[in-house]
Structure 1
Amino acid sequence: MADEMIDGLRFEQRHGKERVRVARVWRNEDGRHTIVEWSVGISLLSDCVAAYVFDDNSDIVATDTMKNTVFVKAKECSEQISVEDFAIGLAKHFTSVYQQVTTAIIKIVEKPWERVYIDGQPHEHGFKLGSEKHTTEVILKKSGALQVTSGVEGLAVLKTTKSGFEGFIRDKYTALPDTRERILATEVTASWRYPFESLSSVPPKPLYFTERYLDVKKVLVDTFFGPPKEGVYSPSVQSTLYHMAKAVLGRFPDILSIRLKMPNLHFLPVNLSSKDNPAIVKFNDDVYLPTDEPHGSIEASLGRFRIKDVEAAAQVG
């Protein structure tokens, strides 16, 4: 936040606009349509202390103006654009047009509209709502210093076998048995940071970020499940999370670091019994009680040590 000393006190402030919803449709000459729907959050760090202290709004960028800017900039996108490039464009506008603004922070969540297929054929203008969401955060300073982070939210995955958990700490409060056979289910939230440090270092390739988002998502999913026939064994959510993160960094030299959050959504074995009937239903790896409250919470990040090495590798690739 912008940090000031006022009357001997430390004062921090920022202002912006949240949940600006905008949809953009592109109509190609061949008749095919494309649509995106974004929820945009804007936060500006600016020199507008007078508005707080002296009732002087002359340095304020109105939040309504921010909202209108989102619509105008969406209109100006004559060609399909990635959510990251749109966020970069917004940040560039606010830091260049307004002298008072020192930093723009743009966060966008893209709603997952997917093209429908009818009789195996892609529909020209029909879409259905998917599940996981594409996210981005762009931080741009007036100096030109840039930080771009992308991510995915709500990536729900489950496998019915090839998962276990054993050898953990046991004490007088431990009731969980060791197992090498359980359902593994989670809803992945991932965010990864690119090494680009200025506007000029961002790849000019159209939809570069969109393609990378799809690539990363595929690597995460493929690593979680393993080969289609034999799968891959998971000794813990922690182990699977690490291998997913490592696979992303190993596959993409243009990703500096990745953070994964993977709650353990439990499928509890069902064993029903009573005093008179000790085996009403006996679990045999077939009947479960799904529950996500409470659930285990596992989160970690993995990153490279030297940014310059990553940038050099990205240029070579």
Structure 2
Amino acid sequence: MSAKLTRNSYGKNAVNLSKVIRHKDYHEFKQISVNISLEGDFITAYTEGDNKKILATDTQKNTVYALAREHFNSSIESFGIYLSDHFMSHNPQIRQVTIDITEHSYTRLSFDDNQHPHAFMGNGPAKNTARIVHNADDLRVWSGVKDLLILKTADSGFESFIRDAFTSLKETDDRILATQCEASWLYDTNGQDFTACATAIRNTLLKTFAFHKSLSVQQTLYAMGEAVLAEHSIVKEISLEMPNKHHIPFNLEQFGLINKNEIFIATDEPYGLIKGTITRE
């Protein structure tokens, strides 16, 4: 029997890094997790155990920490680009580098309208994300957000869906719409202020979610993506995942009470998962 190795990659995952940026009067705190994936001329490492072209994953980890000292002072996108440039320029056997970064964001605490210089609070479960894919021909940058828990208690319904022998779900024109949204958008260019762009795009997503009259999660997902493309010409495409965090009305009639769409059971599993990618025509 003959065998052939096709596409392959290797790298280091979950490189967890915290950095304090010390200004004269205050500190910044950054906490990230970096995943690195390398593709290239590594076939003999697999087929012959020849490691001459292998950049050890431990070296990749150390590179993240060493380069962060001087080069992680702004956005996760800019740091990811610098990392990918380093791996590409120092290793001719590498054809493509993929860097994924997740950022746990913090805000300085405020007391009496004054920000504390070095005390912070985490900004909930939501995390900023970045993906950089760098090869000899192209450099593509995605920004995003995940675990963004958003909810609204009105302007959401779900009606006129298929009913068959196994359908038990009741139609409604008034329900809670809750999701733990994940969004990722691809930029047309790479020299912008990534932090400002991501903040503005995130605001567009939230505003559209809040004010959209939702007939389904699918419709709201599309409206959110469509709004980002309409308001931000720098975005080439956007992908969203919106798991439906169900809030099911509780039956109070068994106690002789009326539930005026006020009391719900919050359920995490099972859940509906809606995905979509919106691009420019």
Query: What TM-score do you get using the length of structure 1 for normalisation?
Result: 0.84
Q: Give 5+ residue unaligned stretches, structure 2.
A: none
Alignment partner of 2:269: what SS? strand
Residue in structure 1 matched with residue 82 of structure 2 by the alignment: 89
User: Does the 8 A contact of 1:194 with 1:257 survive in 2?
Assistant: yes
Residue in structure 1 matching 2:217, options 237, 242, 247: 237
1:271 Cα deviation after fit? 0.9
Alignment partner of 2:120: what SS? strand
CA distance in 2, matches of 1:83, 1:151: 11
CA RMSD of aligned residues (A): 1.7
TM alignment of 1:213-232, pairs within 5 A:
213-226=198-211, 232=212
CA distance in 2, matches of 1:173, 1:296: 16
CA distance in 1, matches of 2:99, 2:69: 18
TM alignment of 1:92-171, pairs within 5 A:
92-131=85-124, 132-141=126-135, 143-171=136-164
Residue in structure 2 matched with residue 287 of structure 1 by the alignment: 263
The size of the alignment, in residue pairs, is: 280
Alignment partner of 1:12: what SS? coil
Q: Deviations over 1:228-260 (max 9, x none)?
A: xxxx42111111111111110111000000011
Change in CA separation of 1:63 and 1:10 when aligned onto 2, cut-off 3 Å:
closer
Stretches of 4+ moved more than 6 A in 1? none
Residue in structure 1 matched with residue 167 of structure 2 by the alignment: 174
Residue in structure 1 matched with residue 279 of structure 2 by the alignment: 303
1:51 Cα deviation after fit? 2.0
Change in CA separation of 1:282 and 1:253 when aligned onto 2, cut-off 3 Å:
same
**Corresponding letter in the other structure for 1:262:** M
Residue in structure 2 matching 1:57, options 48, 51, 58: 51
Residue in structure 2 matched with residue 23 of structure 1 by the alignment: 18
1:8 Cα deviation after fit? 5.2
CA distance in 2, matches of 1:119, 1:172: 61
1:99 Cα deviation after fit? 1.5
Alignment partner of 2:170: what SS? coil
**Corresponding letter in the other structure for 1:126:** A
**Corresponding letter in the other structure for 2:219:** S
CA distance in 2, matches of 1:94, 1:260: 30
Alignment partner of 1:137: what SS? strand
Residue in structure 2 matched with residue 191 of structure 1 by the alignment: 184
CA distance in 1, matches of 2:117, 2:240: 35
CA distance in 2, matches of 1:239, 1:256: 20
User: Does the 8 A contact of 2:5 with 2:43 survive in 1?
Assistant: no
1:279 Cα deviation after fit? 3.9
CA distance in 2, matches of 1:71, 1:9: 36
Residue in structure 1 matched with residue 226 of structure 2 by the alignment: 246
Query: What TM-score do you get using the length of structure 2 for normalisation?
Result: 0.94
**Corresponding letter in the other structure for 2:270:** P
CA distance in 1, matches of 2:42, 2:168: 57
**Which of 1 and 2 has greater Rg?**
1
**Corresponding letter in the other structure for 1:13:** N
CA distance in 1, matches of 2:157, 2:99: 40
CA distance in 1, matches of 2:167, 2:46: 54
User: Does the 8 A contact of 1:270 with 1:281 survive in 2?
Assistant: no
**Corresponding letter in the other structure for 1:286:** E
Identity %: 38
Alignment partner of 1:59: what SS? coil
Residue in structure 2 matched with residue 255 of structure 1 by the alignment: 235
